């Protein structure tokens, strides 16, 4: 990858992450960019899959053709979300962008910040579930942590529907 912009979007299977993805496509991504989907899976025991090779550094960058393939994604312990696959397939075709995925295992807050430097990303878009003050104090806010600790600009897209 040369001088093209690398726009990161933190994704999981939640509606708020799909909203953040769609917002990034509509407002940030432009022709020629690399749209990098960053997902973080919980740590665990992965003896039977190839993901044990990538726990320390994250997966290699996975191209859209492999993101669409459930058998390939199973090797990484990921079940493709059909709505997300539809969104990124349309973006790849209409906006002429390269779509890639990078999977990390561990704490989402730390791994998203690590992804910014490791890939590296020009900016990162994250969703916000809109936790109340008490839940946020107990569970911690991933988006708040990333905003305060990332080395690149971070945009938080709020999901008011939850």
Look at the alpha carbons of 38, 19, 140, 138 in this order and tell me if their dihedral is positive or negative: negative
19-158 fold: Rossmann fold (3.40.50)
Q: What are the angstrom distances between the C-alpha of 152 and each of 29, 140, 159, 161?
A: 16, 21, 22, 28
- Name the strands in the sheet holding 6-10, side by side, starting at the edge strand that comes first in the sequence: 62-63, 98-105, 34-41, 6-10, 123-128, 154-158
In Å, how far from its chain's centre is CA 134? 26
Tens of each residue's pLDDT in the chain, 162 residues: 456 899 999 999 888 899 999 999 999 999 999 999 999 988 765 555 555 667 778 899 999 999 999 999 988 888 889 999 999 999 999 999 999 999 998 899 999 999 999 999 999 999 986 555 554 454 458 888 999 999 999 999 987 665
Tell me the domain boundaries of the chain.
19-158
The pTM score is 0.87
């Amino acid at each position: 990858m040369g001088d093209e912009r690398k726009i990161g979007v933190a994704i999981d299977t939640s509606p708020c992450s799909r909203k953040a993805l769609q917002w990034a496509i509509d407002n940030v991504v432009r022709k020629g960019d690399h749209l990098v989907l960053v997902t973080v899976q919980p740590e665990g025991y992965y003896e039977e899959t190839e993901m044990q090779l990538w726990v320390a550094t994250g997966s290699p960058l996975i191209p859209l053709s492999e993101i669409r393939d459930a058998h390939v994604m199973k090797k990484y312990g990921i079940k493709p979300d059909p709505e997300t696959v539809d969104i990124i397939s349309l973006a790849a075709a209409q906006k002429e962008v390269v779509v890639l995925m990078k999977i990390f295992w561990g704490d989402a807050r730390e791994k998203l910040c690590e992804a910014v430097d490791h890939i590296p990303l020009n900016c990162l878009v994250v969703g916000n579930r809109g936790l109340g003050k008490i839940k946020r104090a107990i569970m911690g806010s991933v988006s708040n942590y990333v905003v305060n600790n990332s080395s690149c600009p971070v945009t938080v897209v709020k999901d008011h529907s939850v």
